[in-house]
Amino acid sequence: MVDFGFKLSSSNRIDLDSCDSDLFLKLKAESGTIKQCIACGSCASSCSAANFTGVNFRKTILLIERGKNEEAKELIKGCMLCGKCTLVCPRGINTREIILSINQYYKKERF
Amino acid sequence: MEGDVLIIGGGPAGMETASRISDFKRNVILVEKERELGGHILKWDRLFPDGILASDITNELKASLGNTKVILGSYLASIEKRDDYHFVAQLSSGEIIRCSSVVLATGFKLFPAQKKQEYGYGLYDRVITNEDLETRFKKSEGLGKEAPKRVGFVHCVGSRDEKICNKQCSKLCCITAVKQAIELKQLYPDAEIFCFYMDLRMYGRGYEDLYLEAQSKYGIRFIRGRVSEISQDQSGLVIVKAEDTLASRPLKITLDWVILMAGIISERENDYLTQQLSLQLGEDGFINSLDPIIKTDQTNIPGVFVTGSATGPKTLPEVLSEARSTALTVNEYLNKIKNG
């Protein structure tokens, strides 16, 4: 068979019909505040790690809600748990608790 | 002094209610704590969406007060419901008022922006509020003779914020920011203007058009992100930090001026009145209507009515329409108690 150099790409879209909501459900059960986000970006704006790393809590919980857990995990890797995001959140989301829970989830379940 | 209706608050809601109840040949007493009628719009220059002068509206409202007895510079020291149909109130001047019904048109308060310390209002000279800017427009001062190069508007200051216990959306600030941004651009055509918003709530007729005009005609730039912090540099310019949430990157900008859109909060100074009358307040501090759709101007106490932004943030046309409907409700109530 002639190789034309074409290949199948994996889908880039968010597929809400078959997404992995395991982590989101766990976080929702542990701390209801994760559902309260209005995506204002205060957390990412005040983040002491965000100027030099890709840390972005707003995007993390959005991606978890959309079932993109692996991508989300990468976005809190540089977090130093300073807690500024908890202080500024206008919806009173317990950001540190959620970050710790995500870390715990990956330590227990995946590694 | 005796009257059929005692109206507390001489802003647009109180004035319009007074003039419409007077039309029914009722004795109306209107009490205003300031020395002038008008309320908040006294400090406002032009009104959205068409730029009508606020002073024109105030004058028109004042002119139609009819036989209303207006008491200025006085507030209610106490109020009591005696028997079923009568209220006895004492003013700060000591004067006693007897009336058959009471309308609370006590309005709102602008969020004191210094409470949001991270924005530096009161600390940095070039951080001012929406109200300060209107006062400057009124005095034809603008932002001074030296044209600013860059100005930023910060939306939702004291609104939608659990950290300062104001969860509600103030509703008017989005369109006010767009209006003020356009006015600044008209004054200073070369200035770059930025609006930092979380959501733009352009719900009224003509608002979306104004937003579009702000973008296309005036080149005002909208950045989706809540400002987390404002600081000052050595030259006195202000540095604003936010997340550009649509680009998912932290953002920093140096500006000549920052305008904080202080939100609408309940007038807690009247808490003693609502307590004395046993009125129900919502979690947000605004007075609760008997129901939120049909009986919006009635309260849990018969004979006590509420109108305007005492029940939550409202635009001026909404306030005036509600005031007219309150006048009908009050008149109906007075007819009913007269006929037993």
pLDDT (tens digit per residue) in A71-90: 999 999 999 999 999 999 99
Buried b (16+ CB within 10 A) or exposed e, A40-54: bbbbbbbbebbeeee
pLDDT tens, A9-61?
A: 888 888 899 888 999 999 999 888 999 999 999 999 999 999 899 999 999 99
A23 and chain B in contact, CB less than 8 A = no
Q: What is the pTM of this model?
A: 0.93
B247: CB partners within 8 A, 6+ apart: none
The residues of B whose Cβ lies within 8 A of any Cβ of A are: 118, 156, 160-163, 198-199, 224-229, 241-245, 248, 250-251
Contact A46 B229 (CB under 8 A): yes
Positions of chain B with pLDDT under 70:
340
Residues in chain A with CB shorter than 8 Å from the CB of B243 are: 41-45, 50, 56, 58
Same domain? B255 vs B330: no
Nearest by CB to B161, from A56, A87, A90: name it: A90
Q: How far is the alpha carbon of B63 from chain A, nearest alpha carbon, in Å?
A: 44
Res B188: pLDDT:
97
Interface list for A 64-103 with B (CB within 8 A): 87-92
Calculate the alpha carbon distances from B177 to A43, B202, B297 in Å: 24, 11, 29
Contact B224 A41 (CB under 8 A): yes
Same domain? B118 vs B221: yes
State what percent of residues in chain A have pLDDT above 70. Answer: 97
Same domain? B38 vs B162: no
Buried b (16+ CB within 10 A) or exposed e, B287-320: bbbbeeeeebbbbebebbbbbbbbbbbbbbebbb
User: Looking at residue B209, which CATH number applies to its domain?
Assistant: 3.50.50.60
B285: left (phi over 0), alpha (psi -120 to 50) or beta: left
Res A109: pLDDT:
59
Same domain? B129 vs B253: yes
Q: How far is the alpha carbon of A4 from chain B, nearest alpha carbon, in Å?
A: 37
ipTM: 0.87
Same domain? B29 vs B115: no
Range of the domain at B313: 2-108+266-339
pLDDT tens, B3-43?
A: 999 999 999 999 999 999 999 999 999 999 999 999 999 99
- What one-character DSSP code corresponds to residue B258? E
A45 and chain B in contact, CB less than 8 A = yes
Q: Total domain count for chain B?
A: 2
Residues in chain A with CB shorter than 8 Å from the CB of B198 are: 38-40
Minimum CA–CA partner of B163 in chain A: A90
Cis peptide leading into residue B292 (ω within 30°):
no
A42 and chain B in contact, CB less than 8 A = yes
Nearest by CB to A51, from B161, B163, B250: name it: B250
Res A2: pLDDT:
87
Minimum CA–CA partner of A93 in chain B: B162
Given the structure tokens 């959620």, which residue do they identify?
Answer: A98
pLDDT at A111 over 50: no
Residue to test with chain A: of B154, B197, B222, B243, most A Cβ within 10 A: B243
Last residue of a domain, one of B264, B282, B304: B264
Same domain? B119 vs B259: yes
- The rounded mean pLDDT for chain A is 90
